[in-house]
Amino acid sequence: MKENRTGKNVLGMILKGYPRISETFISNEILLLEQMGFSVRIISMRHPREPFCHDSVRQIRAGVDYLPQTILEALPQLLYHNLRVALCAPRRYAGAVRVAFRRFLRTRKSATLKHLLQAGYMVDKFLPGRNVVHLHAHFAHSPTSVAMFASRLSGLPFSFTGHAKDIYTSDPRQLREKIGMARFVATCTEYNRRHLAGLGNGAGTPLYRVYHGIDVGLFNGDGEPAAPAEPYRLMTVARMVPKKGLPTVYKALRLLRDQGITFQHTLIGDGDDREKILALIGELGLTDCCRWLGTLPHEKVLAHYRAADLFVLGCEQAANGDRDGIPNVFTEAMAMGVPVVSTRVSAIPELIRDGETGLLVSPGHPGAMAEAMLRLLRDTGLRKHIIRAAGALVRREFDNRKLIQALGAIYRNEQPLLQNRA
């Protein structure tokens, strides 16, 4: 373990996994915070899943520590470091155990013990000599649980950012407790902020909405695109999971084909529902006009944006309550001059304003989606208006360099010890 010899106070960032190709918004945030003068140390609960990463990750200077992923394989190390914390700070450790016991009684989930042990491991092995003065977790479930216990064990304040699935599939009682203990909570949509405010039940914890935003220099369309012609080039970038509504997209594509409309649809992404989605494409007879490319790095996705006539995604609320916030792929497509068709779910209308910056339909309605897609492909006046308005909105309200200034101010106002300057 290297000590921090710079003298700068450090923000400890606890992540579910690092780096992750689908969580570019987190790596971009860390990079921009560093450029603002913050010193960051990353503590990741899992190793990377993909063999490659985006270019922005390579620019990050923060060191990374990896927590043990399973209890059984690392039990001796976990117990050793937790025993050291318990001996050095018996009252704090006893308090953390009481919190863990209370939380376990609510849900009967063994993950509570795992998070306590991971926190003790982190506090003893990773924090000494690092000048970490604040802990921040991305995602309200397990990373925030580790941050919460680490805060109890170390005395450091913690905060967290809630995103989507982590908010809506968490036990409300557990999440309410985390909100009450946190120094502050951030989230990426107004829809989420209102939900968390309701859960907080007057806890008094500051709740901030800060959109993720994108690099508008990287995602930048080449002027006014030409009017599309058949075969239309359609695209979707999404994880293959229920909340993305991919079956609705493919059923809508089948309806377009039944009308004699020719197109080529490209799906970029991967996920647990891969086999189900690929089978559906075959069942609908779309294999000759639909292709799946898997997960791709930014530079390759950009080429597909440049070639696309339309972006489509059928977001919906999954059976377990999971739903999107505002998928970053929407802001990317809009910045690239690709018009978007999606659904009225969660916070999506905060970005896609129906008839103004895109077209929205009700989730689970392939007919309405097919109609909206065809409208944006063939109505030249509407298409031009939406492309211009969407690009202007992204540049005005979703530029991540502007948004990171607001986030940096929150960190410094809520934790004055992070007043480091470049």
As a whole number of angstroms, the distance between CA 168 and CA 164 comes to 6
Q: Check residue 51 and give its pLDDT.
A: 65
Closest CA to 342 of 243, 241, 422: 243
Q: Check residue 368 and give its pLDDT.
A: 98
pLDDT band at 54 (very low <50, low <70, confident <90, very high): low
**The residue to which tokens 């597909």 are assigned:** 304
Q: How far is CA 268 from the centre of its chain?
A: 17
Closest CA to 13 of 321, 328, 418, 377: 418
Compute the average pLDDT of residues 242-249. Answer: 98
Other beta carbons less than 10 A from residue 233's beta carbon: 18
Both tokens of 29, joined, read 């945030």
DSSP string computed for 160-214? EEE-SHHHHSS-HHHHHHHHHHSS-EEES-HHHHHHHHHHHTT----EEE----B
Q: Check residue 3 and give its pLDDT.
A: 53
Other beta carbons less than 10 A from residue 20's beta carbon: 19
Compute the average pLDDT of residues 284-306. Answer: 95
Compute the average pLDDT of residues 1-11. Answer: 70
pLDDT in tens, 169-210: 999 999 999 999 999 999 999 999 999 999 977 678 999 999
Catalogue all structural domains in the chain, each as residue range(s) with its CATH number: 10-213+399-418 (3.40.50.2000), 232-397 (3.40.50.2000)
Compute the average pLDDT of residues 280-287. Answer: 98
- pLDDT of 50 strictly over 90: no
Q: How many CA atoms lie within 13 A of 315 on its CB side?
A: 27
As a whole number of angstroms, the distance between CA 80 and CA 26 comes to 32
Q: Check residue 52 and give its pLDDT.
A: 61
| Mean of the per-residue pLDDT values of the chain | 93
pLDDT in tens, 302-350: 999 999 999 999 999 999 999 999 999 999 999 999 999 999 999 999 9
Look up the pTM and report it. 0.90
400 contacts 28 by C-beta, under 8 angstroms: yes
3-state secondary structure of 273: coil
**The residue to which tokens 């910056």 are assigned:** 357
As a whole number of angstroms, the distance between CA 55 and CA 291 comes to 26
Closest CA to 144 of 182, 201, 104: 182
pLDDT in tens, 62-76: 999 999 988 888 999
pLDDT in tens, 103-153: 999 999 999 999 999 999 999 999 999 999 999 999 999 999 999 999 999
pLDDT in tens, 378-408: 999 999 999 999 999 999 999 999 999 999 9
Compute the average pLDDT of residues 50-55. Answer: 65
